[in-house]
Structure 1
Amino acid sequence: MSGKTERLQDEVVIAGGTAGLIARFFVAPLDVVKIRLQLQTHSLSDPLSQRNINGGPIYKGTLRTMRHIVRHEGITGLWKGNVPAELLYVCYSATQFTAYRAATVSLAQIHDALGIPATPPLDSFVAGASAGAAATAATYPLDLLRTRFAAQGNDADRVYTSLRGAVRDIARDEGATGFFRGLGPALIQIAPYMGAFFTFYEGLKPITNRIQNDVFRSGKSELLGGNGLGTADAAAGIMAAVMAKTFVFPLDLVRKRIQVQGPTRSRYVHKNIPVYDRGVARALATILRTEGVRGLYRGLIVSLFKAAPANAITMWTYERVLHVLTHMDAEAVV
């Protein structure tokens, strides 16, 4: 039994890491755009008197921001920070799915030991929140590096020239704690986000599976692209991501702004990023006071465009890779 459990754990790690690797590459441009919009404190619709015209470019909309980055920084500008981000997504996904499975098993054992019935929605929320918090804490320095590389420009606006140089400079100028700027809001955000995501996902998956089966029985499988392989998982992932992301987005925005604090704050593309050094609640209050409710949701649309396919690809890839590995393991045993 122990050997079987260990093999399953390895399969979960491999499936999770593969899912993160593939998902990250496809959504990297949307991630860069999201970060740029989140760090922006003004928009084109603000009166000129309220804008800091010396504070860097003012972006408007997802496509315009993409065009601006490509025009001024080249096509590779849309993949800035992709090396630490790929490492982040691989490590994060592997840790997240492993922790989620471990938490799910532990909760089931607790229910059995206490003789109380399982509560699927609550169990999914607790397991998802625990998995998200564990994965975030374990990979946070990579998340910070991803944000800083995505926030910097080219040439004179370049803050770090290499990943190794960034690690060296942050360690020298900001100390070990510099790698964990914004960890507080990250944990506050990720726990309810991943809890809500897995709750929605586990609740929606039976529904999307039923719809997929009904489509096949009706003889209209072409609506699912022929075989519909994994369509239900992808659809559940998209809907769960949209609902969960909207719920916690202001905390994600605060996390990004805190991540670029420190001695290099004024050297990024946006040079007028305010100082946020009084905690999450004060940062939220400051943004609300100076930018209004809209300020708490800068970049929400592109974030949803990114979260939906990212989670769809992640959950689809995870389910498919895990199925293949489990099938291969079963055949090897036979």
Structure 2
Amino acid sequence: MASEDEKTSESAVSTIVNLAEEAKLAREGVKTPSYAFLSICKSLAAGGVAGGVSRTAVAPLERLKILLQVQNPHNIKYTGTIQGLKYIWRTEGFRGLFKGNGANCARIIPNSAVKFFTYEQASKGLLYLYQQQTGNEDARLTPVLRLGAGACAGIIAMSATYPMDLVRGRLTVQTENSPYQYRGMFHALSTVLREEGPRALYKGWVPSVIGVIPYVGLNFAIYESLKDWLVKSKPFGLAEDSELGLITRLACGAVAGTVGQTIAYPSDVIRRRMQMAGWSNAASVVTGDGKAPLEYSGMIDAFRKTVRYEGFGALYKGLVPNSVKVVPSLAIAFVTYEVVRDLLGVGIKVSD
């Protein structure tokens, strides 16, 4: 019978051998279960940190966008980006610029992590099916397949974190006269559940799904396709071999984000208004006659009433501050993701 010390020694040696073997396999490109799990966790962490840092950096513009989206047309407080930011600073101080950002980060961190990771997995699955269907093992994703992968990632990430988005909106527009005084994210969640029921946490979910398909889908499809074109055509010497410089990647992301958010923006406005429907005395909540908050029976009704009372341009309220934040937000997100990924030694990355 082997002694306890001998058993312990044999166990330690076995562990070291196993770790060495896993490291060797990892260097050779073979991912063991533990290595793959660790890579997944690191990838999720990198995406989450990137989302949190980038959203905090543009939090004042994000709050102004929401205030413009739900602004009462009979009581205009915010007439533009600069004026709006100055008004918030004057009436609420520095903290007012970041109101609701805690809940926003609590939503965007898991949202960003899930979105990046889901896109990778959906892309791999679609590419495998496409290669099987065409019989070409060297086939690559088409723009349409990338759009599908991006849409899938957007829907899953948005649905998983939607209650946090609703709470973030409520925290952003509440005032001293609001019906409920939310002290924070968790208090807001419990209050909505208690006073309005579980279904209230998903108000505006349908227009969100309709909006996220072109937004996230186009983001990934345009970004990936634009990068591929630049690598293959090498215009103006932007690509060296098969790699693009950081500035070029950021420019690709900015173009993709601008196109996607412009197309999907009306759905975002309707989603926000449906989330605030019936919530009287909130900051600038839109009304039909300036007195009572509008109630919407559904997405189509919300579109109809918005256009009827305020015109087609109301569907793009807040687009300017939203557009202004797209470029720095994407730039910071991509740079942060790259830095964190390198620090953690992530084995998988977007677009590999």
Counterpart position of 2:336 = 317
Structure 2 residue runs without a partner (length 5+): 1-30, 288-292
Looking at structure 1, the residues matched to 286 and 118 of structure 2 have their Cα atoms a distance apart, in angstroms, of 39
Q: 1:201 aligns with which of 209, 223, 243?
A: 223
In structure 2, the partner of 1:281 is 300
Partner of 2:39: 8
| Secondary structure of 2:277's aligned partner | coil
Counterpart-to-counterpart distance in 1, 2:80 and 2:294: 25
Partner residue in 1 for 2:191: 169
Cα-Cα RMSD: 2.4
Deviations 1:227-262 (A, max 9, x none): x96212211111111111111110000011111124
TM-aligned CA distance change 1:22 to 1:213, over 3 Å: farther
- Give the number of the structure whose alpha-carbon radius of gyration is greater: 2
For the 8 Å contact 1:41–1:291, the answer to whether it is kept is: no
Structure 1 CA distance for aligned equivalents of residues 245 and 222 of structure 2: 21
Partner of 2:91: 72
| Structure-2 residue corresponding to 1:223 | none
Change (3 A) 1:183 1:216: closer
Runs (4+) of structure 1 exceeding 6 A deviation are 209-213
Deviation at 1:280, TM superposition (A): 1.4
Alpha-carbon distance between aligned partners in 1 of 2:155 and 2:113, rounded to the nearest angstrom: 13
Secondary structure of 2:97's aligned partner: helix
The Cα shift of 1:285 comes to: 1.8
Instruction: Kindly indicate whether residue 157 of structure 2 is the aligned counterpart of residue 135 of structure 1.
Output: yes
CA distance in 1 between partners of 2:345 and 2:236 (Å): 23
How far apart, in 2, do the equivalents of 1:204 and 1:22 lie? 25
Q: State the AA in 2 paired with 1:266.
A: S
Which residue pairs with 1:240 in the alignment? 256
Q: Which has the larger helix fraction?
A: 1
The one-letter code matched in structure 2 to 1:183 is W
Q: 1:257 aligns with which of 255, 273, 286?
A: 273
CA distance in 2, matches of 1:321, 1:205: 22
What residue in structure 1 maps to residue 12 of structure 2?
none
Measured against aligned partners, the alpha-carbon deviations of 1:269-298 in whole angstroms (never above 9, x if no partner) come to: 115434242221221122112211211111
Between the aligned partners of 1:12 and 1:276, the Cα distance in structure 2 is: 42
Q: Is the CA contact (8 Å cut-off) linking 1:186 and 1:252 kept in structure 2?
A: yes
2:194 is the counterpart of 1:180 = no
TM-score (norm 2): 0.80
When residues 320 and 211 of structure 1 are mapped into structure 2, their CA distance, relative to the original with a 3 A threshold, is farther
> When the two structures are superposed, what TM-score results if normalisation uses the length of structure 1?
0.84
After superposition, where does 1:40-79 map in structure 2 within 5 Å? 40-42=71-73, 51=74, 53=75, 57-79=76-98
CA contact (8 A) 2:59 2:101 kept: yes
In 1, the alpha carbon distance for the partners of 2:225 and 2:41 equals 26
1:41-120 alignment, distance < 5 Å = 41-42=72-73, 51=74, 53=75, 57-114=76-133, 115=135, 117-120=139-142
Contact 1:32-1:78 within 8 A present in 2 as well: yes
Structure 1 equivalent of residue 322 of structure 2? 303
Matched residue type, 1:160: Y
- Deviations 1:118-151 (CA, angstroms, capped at 9, x unpaired): 4420121011000000000000011111111111
1:255/1:272 CA distance change after superposition, 3 Å = closer
Query: Using a 3 Å threshold, how does the CA distance of structure 1 residues 266 and 208 change in structure 2: closer, same or farther?
Result: farther
> SS of the counterpart of 2:316?
coil
Cα separation, 1, equivalents of 2:106 and 2:161: 9
Counterpart in the other structure of 2:5? none
Paired AA for residue 302 in structure 1: P
* Gap change, CA 1:140 and 1:271, over 3 Å in 2: closer
Contact 2:230 2:239 in 1 (8 A): no
Distance in 2 (alpha carbons) for counterparts of 1:35 and 1:251: 13
C-alpha contact 2:239 2:245 (8 A) present in aligned 1: no
- Distance 1:276-1:308 versus aligned 2 partners, 3 A rule: farther
Q: Could you say which residue in structure 2 is the equivalent of 1:24?
A: 55
Unaligned segments of structure 1, at least 5 residues: 43-50, 218-227
Range moving further from structure 2, 164-173 or 108-117: 108-117
Q: For 1:149-188, what per-residue CA distance to the aligned partner results, in whole angstroms no more than 9, with x for missing partners? A: 11113x4457322323212211111111111111111111
Of 283, 286, 291, which residue of structure 2 is paired with 1:269?
A: 283
Tell me how far apart the structure 2 counterparts of residues 133 and 162 of structure 1 sit (CA, whole Å).
26
